Amino acid sequence: MQLRRLGSSGPEVSVLGLGTMTFGNEANEVTSHAILDRYFDAGGRFIDTADVYTRGVSEEYIGRWLADRGARDEMVLATKARFAMSDDPADRGAGRDYLQRALEASLRRLGVDHVDLYQIHAWDPLTPVDETMEALNGFVAAGKVRFVGVSNHLAWQLERAAQVCERNGWAPVVSLQPQYNLLARDIELELVPLCIDRGIGLLPWSPLGGGWLTGKYRQDTDPAPLSRLGEDPTRGLEALSVRDTDRTWAILDVVRQIAERRGVTMGGVAINWLLRRPMVGSVLIGCRTTAQLEENLAALEWDLTDDELVDLNTVSAPGIPAYPQGFLENEAGMDIWERLRTRIHKAY
């Protein structure tokens, strides 16, 4: 499996990273270890987890697999902290004291003395960003973390974190882990240009849009019994209300046409598209079974044509908000998308 540098200064990661939110929840330990084995045998070398994934169980599964397989030195290991690990209000956040406890707990569950990438799972409005980034820098200085990153941040939040590190000479932010897929491209308005300017790598989560881009949901058809919406109708009501739009179905039609013409899966089309986006270091694939993993791995066996990329980019282009982007485009003569395309081209 191909490796890519994560941003301009991060580690080399596999182009497909293994997201492990399903471990301990939708996949038991035997299945989780089978998924890890297949991913490793396919050349995968990047595992992403978080302390909050089944409140530590995912990290425990990975830790036991690393020990059994003896693969620690071959893997780039990433985890995250920020969200609640218990009902105790002090057991969450991005403050120095909590992050210290969270990191030590993650290292213990993983059975390692350091992680390669430690990420703040989301912005913490109750903690000064200086305190958070200074704590992360301390972890790097202590040899417990190699690189630092963030997840689920707005552009101004990411820029503030990057500036604080730059100003103080602290370990820089090398990565951003956002939701990013053909159905969710809004990060291209501000976050992607910022990452291009700063050399910050992207680690997209939900590349298949919660299953929508696999083709399992069809317009005017109830969710299948074994789908995520069908298993528990209430679980997917919010997602259904957000995704059930003309834009969604138009995107799915183009993805389906390409998949049928090329003899590949719709999910493979979606992953292939993400692999061609600027600053993407690794696309994080999550799965409940080895069969799902195999489908995702197949996306590496072929490439979208330039014409297919144009079709996908055109049908999935997000709308531009009336203000400030729309105002600047209409009143100040700034072609937002043309400027973005130019920056993307230069990034490659």
Report, as residue numbers or ranges, the catalytic residues.
Answer: 53
Burial class (CB in 10 A: 0-12, 13-18, 19+), 238: exposed
Count the alpha carbons within 13 Å of 108 in the hemisphere toward its beta carbon.
7
For the chain, the residue count is: 348
- For residue 16, give every residue at least 6 positions away whose Cβ sits within 8 Å of its Cβ, in sequence order, or none: 1, 44, 46, 271, 282, 283, 285, 296, 297, 299, 300
String of DSSP letters for 280-329:
B--EEEE-SSHHHHHHHHGGGG----HHHHHHHHHHHPPPPPIIIIIHHH
How far from the centroid of its chain's Cα atoms is residue 230's Cα?
Answer: 25
Q: Which residues pair with 14 in a beta bridge?
A: 3
Cα dihedral 137/143/144/147 (nearest 10): 50
- CA distance readout (Å), 32 to 24, 53, 112, 209, 218: 8, 13, 19, 22, 30
| Closest CA relative to residue 185, chosen from 91, 248, 109 | 248
Q: From its phi and psi, is residue 210 left (phi > 0), alpha (psi between -120 and 50) or beta? A: left
Give CA–CA dist 121/168, Å, rounded: 22
Q: DSSP assignment, residue 119?
A: E
Enter the tokens of residue 229: 């919406």
